[in-house]
Amino acid sequence: MRTETMSDVLRERSLESFPALVLNADYRPLSYYPLSLWPWQDAVKAIFRDTVRVISEYDRIIRSPSKEFKLPSVLVLNEYIKPQRYPAFTRFNVFLRDEWCCQYCGDKFKTQALTFDHVIPRAKGGHTQWENIVAACQECNTRKGSKLPKECKMFPIHKPYEPTVYELQENGKKFPPNFLHESWGDYLYWDSELEDGYIH
C-alpha cells in the first residue's frame, strides 16, 4: 500500500484507472450504457460536498494536508435521481442504437472505424439529432459525401429514431462485457452530448 500527497497524485496518470462507480440512492447504477463512472477527482469532490456515501474503496491511499483516505470505488448518491426515460444523445448511444453496424453496408465495425453520417446532409438543412444521424463506416461515409439518400441511392438500413433507455440496455446485453468496457475507457469523450455543428 502506498501513501502519497495530493500533488503527487495529481501528476500521476495511473490514477485514471481508479474511477468510481456511481449508484443512485436505490443502489442501481445511475446509467448502464455508458456505465456511470466518475473520475476519482469528481468522486473525491462529491465526498467532501457530502452528496455521496462511500460503499467500497480501492486500496490506494491519498493524503490531503488534513486528511488521509482511500480512493472510493463505489459511491451511492444521498438523494435519488429520477432515471431518464430517454437517453442522452451521445456518440456512444448512437453506436449502441445502431449496434456498431454501418447503416449503409450493414457490416459491423470497431468503434475507431465507425463515424457518423447525417442522412440529410447538414449542407442541405439536415440537423444533428437522433432522427438524422446514423453510424457509418468511413468508406460509406465518404461515398455518400453531402448527397441526399435519393441522389446516391444510399438509404439507411434502419430509419434513425430516438431510442428509449430500455432499448439501449437491451442492445447493450448483446455485446460481451469487455466490448462495452473498452469503450467506457473513453467515457468522458462518449458522454459529450452531440450538438448541431459539433460533428460533420
Enumerate binding residues for Zn ion (CB under 5 A).
102, 104-105, 137, 140
Q: Shortest distance, CB of residue 135 to Zn ion, whole angstroms?
A: 9
Q: Which is nearer to Zn ion, 3 or 142 (CB)?
A: 142
Grid cell for residue 1:
500500500
As a whole number of angstroms, the distance between CA 72 and CA 69 comes to 9
Q: Shortest distance, CB of residue 157 to Zn ion, whole angstroms?
A: 10
Q: Shortest distance, CB of residue 44 to Zn ion, whole angstroms?
A: 43
Asked whether 104 and 179 are in contact (CB, 8 A), the reply is: no
In a 3-state reduction of DSSP, which class is residue 123? helix
> How many C-beta atoms lie closer than 10 Å to residue 112's C-beta?
7
As a whole number of angstroms, the distance between CA 47 and CA 117 comes to 41
Q: Which is nearer to Zn ion, 34 or 121 (CB)?
A: 121
Q: Which is nearer to Zn ion, 52 or 102 (CB)?
A: 102
Name residues whose C-beta falls within 8 Å of residue 101's C-beta, 6 or more positions apart in sequence.
107, 108, 109, 135, 157
Q: Which is nearer to Zn ion, 104 or 130 (CB)?
A: 104
Q: Shortest distance, CB of residue 121 to Zn ion, whole angstroms?
A: 17
Name residues whose C-beta falls within 8 Å of residue 174's C-beta, 6 or more positions apart in sequence.
99
Side chain identity at residue 60, one-letter code: R
Q: Which is nearer to Zn ion, 145 or 185 (CB)?
A: 145
Q: Shortest distance, CB of residue 192 to Zn ion, whole angstroms?
A: 24
